[in-house]
Each structure stands twice: as C-alpha cells, then as structure tokens.
Structure 1
Amino acid sequence: MTIAEITKTLLDAKKAKGVTFAQLEEILGRDEVWIASVIYRQASADETEAKKLVEALGLSPEFAEELTIPPLKGSLDPVIPTDPLIYRFYEIMQVYGMPMKEVIHEKFGDGIMSAIDFTLDVDKVEDPKGDRVQVTMCGKFLPYKKW
C-alpha cells in the first residue's frame, strides 16, 4: 500500500466515523498534530498506539502494522507548495525565516532548533475582528559541534 493510499484510507475512515483529531487525542493520549502526522505517514506509532487508532477508526487490526513502519519524512511536492494554507507557512519562512534565524542565534548561539525533540500545537484564539490561528513550535536547541 502506498503512503497516499494509507493516508486516504485513514482519512476516509476518520470522516466516516465523524471523529475529530481532538477526539482521537483523547483516545490515544497523544497530541492531535502528532496523530495527524501518523495519518499522513510523517511519524510512526508503536503497536499499542496503532491498534488504538485503527480501532477508533473502525479499520481492521491488520492495518495497524502499516502505522508502525518508520516513515520516509518530507511530503511537500512540488518544492513550492500550491495549497494556500501550506503556502502561507512557506511564505512566512520566506519573509521571517532569516529574521527568526538571527534572533535565535542571538539568544542561543550557532545552532538549530530540533525537529525531532519538538512539539507543535495549533490553537484557535477567538477575536471579535476574526478568529486567529495560533501555532506554537517548541524544539530543543542543538548547538553546532566544534571539532
């Protein structure tokens, strides 16, 4: 089964069951963004997590094995995304990437933010002028090694 087929099967089952990522978070005890990453095959679940997820989605238990295989990470193709929401994040990095890099280096030194020891939260902030999307990324700082 291809990654696209796995993702489609999971998303179709999620839709058929009428469950949200927040509800899956309650069932699995894992963050909703991480669960979405498993569904899009950008993260792997352990056996228990995979079984809980496929059970919650009403899929056969054999399907859980697919979710435990370490994935090939990175899914944006073409390089410049065309989906408007994803493109906005690309645009944010085009505009604010270098300023963010400078501020991070000023505060931490020469290094990077881990995308492995990392969390990402998406919250809705109600605002009378229009609701806002709040994205919080939190990654461990990894200094470059000198040798």
Structure 2
Amino acid sequence: MTAPIMPKADAAELITAARIRQGLTWSDIAERIDAPVVWTVAALLGQHPVPAEKAAVVVEVLGLGEGVAESLTRQPMRVADDAAASDPTIYRFHEALAVYGPAIKELIHEEFGDGIMSAINFKVDVARRADPDGDRVVVTFDGKFLDYRW
C-alpha cells in the first residue's frame, strides 16, 4: 500500500523550516530553479503546481524527501470568497492576493523584517502598458513599511 500524498500545506511547512534552517532566502531558491521569486514563493507555499524537475531541485537543495516533491507537483485547490466573486474585476484582485498574498508577505518579512505595509500611508496607481499580446494593466501598491515594536 502506498502512502497518501502529503498535503500541500504540510509540504510548505517543511520547505519553510528547511529554508530557514539552512539560511537560504527565497531568492536563493528561485535562482536555483530559474524561476521568478514571487512565483517561486507562491508555488512553494502551495499555490501553483511545480514542474517535476524544479520540485526535484527544491527537495535536493533543502534536503527534503520525495513526498515533498510529489506534493509540489500537484495542482492546488484554490477557493474563492463568495462576496468577492460577484464582480469580475474585484474577484481578480481577490484571486491574485489569494495566490500571491502569502508569497508577498514572506518577501516583505524577508526584506524588511517583522512588520506590515501601511494602507494608511499608502499610494496606489493604475496604468496601461502596451504589449504585443494585448495591453497590460499595471497596478502599483506603494505603502510605508511599519515595523512591529515590542
């Protein structure tokens, strides 16, 4: 009898712990698998399926088992908030933050330390960028970093 596939959340915990123990940054891992850093963090936290060859590199670099690699290659379950699903534009922002929010949080903490991005001392901009495959929407959130003070 084969063992059940490790849940993506369990694999993410093992990856995060191994990364910290080894003193690696998310950027270090992204470079090793030749992938964008935000995508890498989101994928390793369970929000994207990771190609088998990249999953194999991750578990080798972090000294983790085949069960983690198998979990990484699986398609994630993404659940939408019913309230956000009523408007397509708002839903896409909700979806983007559901997939990339944990990755962005990890990268903010890695770069700045323990704190948050202010939504009070905050600027947002929306711009159009021409692209041969169709114009792109560029949204920039620019918030002051607020460190937690104990």
**Deviation, structure 1 residue 74:** 5.8
Higher relative contact order (CA 8 A, sep 6+): 2
TM-score, normalised by the number of residues in structure 2: 0.51
Cα deviation 1:94-136 (Å, max 9, x = unaligned) = x74xx73xx55xx89xx9968xxxxxxxxxxxxxxx99xxxxx
Match of 2:75 in 1: 70
| Maintained 8 Å contact 1:28/1:52 | yes
Distance 1:61-1:3 versus aligned 2 partners, 3 A rule: closer
Structure 2 spans left out of the alignment, 5+ residues: 1-5, 85-93, 99-104, 106-114, 138-143, 146-150
SS across alignment from 1:59:
coil
Give the one of 14, 21, 31 matched to 1:16: 21
Match of 1:47 in 2: 52
Structure 1 spans left out of the alignment, 5+ residues: 115-129, 132-147
TM-score, normalised by the number of residues in structure 1: 0.52
% identical aligned pairs: 21
Please tell me whether residue 34 in structure 1 is matched to residue 39 in structure 2.
yes
| Maintained 8 Å contact 1:55/1:61 | no
- Which segments of structure 1 move beyond 6 Å, counting only runs of 4 or more? none
Letter in 2 for 1:85: I
Letter in 2 for 1:61: E
Cα deviation 1:2-55 (Å, max 9, x = unaligned) = 333221111001111111112112211111111101111111111100000111
